[in-house]
């Protein structure tokens, strides 16, 4: 049995497991999602196997040939693990998403910058907590130890500190790199784009933070990926909660990284990790469990403000007052119905100091079938306040408070690509007036080209039209033709394009 046969048999068996779970009277959503991910992983393996084995049979090596002889290497044509190619249709969808994202960024007054794709490794290390192991190292290049950028936030903080920038509202769209375990069907790659929006500078409390929440809500609404909620929490409140539960101060960050897994890992597994791997007592972890199940709105702020254990911890009270003000601004910005104060939200990156947030899609779509499971991607945006990051590069420079959000555009793109029906238009040509690459092009072939590429109009200009001083305009979709005077043709065409 070939590897392909083995994979196909495994896919069939795994599909049966998923169907049985879905048809069971009591549906365990976490178990279903786990088994669906196994099924998708098998499908991805089969896809890679098919790509590797496609093509011509290997040609026998000539006598005396070596491995280094040109043309004799049996090269496997595939993209590196965690990456993918984008064809014209994929890129057309992708560009439309990016255009919508940029439109919102500019609407809020942001200007754009760019930074190198690699940084000095020491710039990146010590900023991401346990995720630092995912940084891509590069070989020594001329005496500099370099690494590919992990995100756009740390390079932005380096840019602010290095350039003595004290206030800026910027967006940055560029590729980042993570030596992670890829999940292609869920938009999780090793090379991917991030779309960041950040506000650096000293302003009145919670106003920039609220604008970041507003930006997320506008983008997700404009892109149209379905219902979502923006979860909100506060790092000071989290640290206060850990202190109240008996977590040693030197284990706040590691406890935080465990809690951060609750969006995709059951509490029982997170609890096991905190006890067995992080060294926390079971009693302490049980106390944490009582808090991280809480979520709500202003009423939860009031409830926690009255908590006797939290009342003894100043940082927790500061975090709650920030949350109270943030929720009030969210109401003013008309996004209160989109946000949830959620104590399970932790965001494991070390550099966050205040409000943190994460946008999560609700539900898997209308169909509920196996295909819809493939586009359930969970978190699609995240960010928070990082007031101390700029100062980490040079303590002698002035500290610059910052807050920002990163849009998971790859995940949005995965959803939109999976939902796209029919052929996607891949060009921006509105009127076909270019010359076909033939000496004597056939009119029918050129009109068929317009239909295939969904070009709305074609201009037909022959000897007969020229002699009468007219241009023939053909509407491709209806095949309706109309003759227009040459001197008014351009204005009429512009009017029609504007109307459409």
DSSP H/E element including 222 = helix 207-223
Mean pLDDT value of segment 299-322:
94
Question: 388-417 pLDDT, tens per residue?
Answer: 999 888 767 778 999 999 998 888 888 888
Question: 325-362 pLDDT, tens per residue?
Answer: 999 999 999 999 999 999 989 886 778 999 999 999 98
Return the number of other C-beta atoms located less than 10 Å from residue 256's C-beta: 23
The encoded tokens of residue 86 equal: 């984008």
Alpha carbon 428 to chain centroid, angstroms: 25
DSSP H/E element including 100 = helix 88-107
Question: 356-381 pLDDT, tens per residue?
Answer: 999 999 865 433 333 444 344 578 99
- pLDDT given for residue 369 in this prediction: 39
Name the binding residues for L-histidine.
151-153, 178, 194, 198, 347, 351-352
CA atoms of 245 and 260, how far apart (whole Å) = 17
Name the binding residues.
151-153, 178, 194, 198, 347, 351-352
Angle separating helix axes 298-305 and 314-332, nearest 10 degrees: 160
- pTM for this model (two decimals): 0.75
Q: Which of 265, 266, 286, 263 is nearest to 275 (CA)?
A: 286
Question: 164-208 pLDDT, tens per residue?
Answer: 889 999 999 999 999 888 777 666 789 999 999 999 999 999 999
- pLDDT given for residue 42 in this prediction: 76
Q: Which of 37, 42, 50 is nearest to 10 (CA)?
A: 42
Question: 450-476 pLDDT, tens per residue?
Answer: 998 889 999 988 888 889 999 999 999
The encoded tokens of residue 227 equal: 């219902």
Say whether 268 sits in a helix, a strand or coil. helix
Strand 228-234 to strand 339-342: parallel, antiparallel, or no bridges (unpaired)?
parallel
């Amino acid at each position: 049995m070939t590897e392909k046969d083995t994979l196909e048999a495994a896919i069939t068996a795994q599909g049966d497991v998923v169907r049985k779970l879905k048809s069971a009277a009591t549906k365990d959503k976490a178990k279903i999602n786990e088994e669906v991910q196994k099924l998708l992983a098998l499908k991805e393996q089969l896809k890679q196997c098919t790509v590797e084995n496609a093509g011509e049979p290997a040609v026998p090596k000539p006598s005396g040939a070596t491995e280094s002889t040109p043309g004799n290497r049996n090269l496997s044509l595939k993209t590196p693990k965690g990456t993918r190619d984008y064809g014209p249709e994929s890129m057309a969808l992708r560009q439309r998403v990016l255009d919508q994202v940029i439109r919102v960024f500019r609407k809020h007054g942001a200007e754009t910058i760019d930074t190198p794709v690699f940084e000095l490794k020491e710039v990146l290390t010590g900023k991401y907590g346990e995720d630092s192991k995912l940084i891509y190292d590069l070989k020594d290049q001329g005496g500099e130890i370099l690494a590919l950028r992990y995100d756009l936030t740390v390079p932005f903080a380096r840019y602010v500190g290095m350039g003595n920038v004290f206030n800026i509202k910027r967006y940055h769209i560029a590729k980042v790199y993570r030596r992670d375990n890829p999940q292609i069907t869920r938009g999780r790659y090793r090379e991917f784009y991030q779309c960041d929006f950040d506000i650096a500078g000293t302003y009145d409390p919670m106003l920039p933070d609220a604008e970041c929440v507003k930006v997320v809500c506008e983008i997700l609404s404009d892109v149209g990926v379905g219902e979502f909620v923006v979860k909100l929490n506060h790092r000071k409140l989290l640290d206060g909660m850990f202190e109240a539960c008996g977590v040693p101060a030197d284990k706040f960050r590691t406890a935080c990284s465990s809690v951060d897994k609750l969006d995709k890992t059951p509490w029982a597994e997170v609890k096991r990790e905190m006890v067995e791997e992080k060294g926390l007592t079971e009693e302490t972890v049980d106390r944490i469990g009582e808090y991280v199940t809480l979520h709500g709105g202003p009423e939860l702020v009031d409830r926690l403000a009255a908590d006797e254990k939290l009342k003894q911890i100043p940082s927790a009270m500061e975090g709650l007052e920030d949350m109270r003000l943030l929720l009030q601004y969210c109401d003013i910005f008309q996004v209160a119905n989109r946000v949830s104060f959620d104590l399970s939200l932790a965001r494991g990156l070390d550099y966050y100091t205040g409000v943190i947030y994460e946008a999560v899609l609700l539900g898997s779509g209308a169909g509920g079938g196996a295909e819809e499971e493939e586009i359930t991607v969970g978190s699609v945006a995240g960010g928070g306040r990082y007031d101390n990051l700029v100062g980490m590069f040079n303590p002698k420079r002035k500290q610059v408070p910052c807050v920002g959000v990163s849009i998971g555009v790859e995940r949005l793109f995965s959803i939109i690509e999976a939902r796209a029906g029919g052929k996607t238009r891949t060009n921006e040509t509105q009127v076909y007036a270019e010359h076909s690459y033939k000496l004597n092009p056939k009119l029918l072939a050129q009109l068929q080209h317009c239909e295939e590429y969904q070009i709305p109009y074609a201009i037909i200009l022959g000897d007969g039209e020229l002699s009468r001083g007219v241009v023939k305009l053909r509407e491709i979709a209806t095949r309706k033709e109309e003759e227009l005077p040459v001197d008014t043709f351009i204005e009429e065409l512009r009017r029609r394009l504007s109307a459409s």
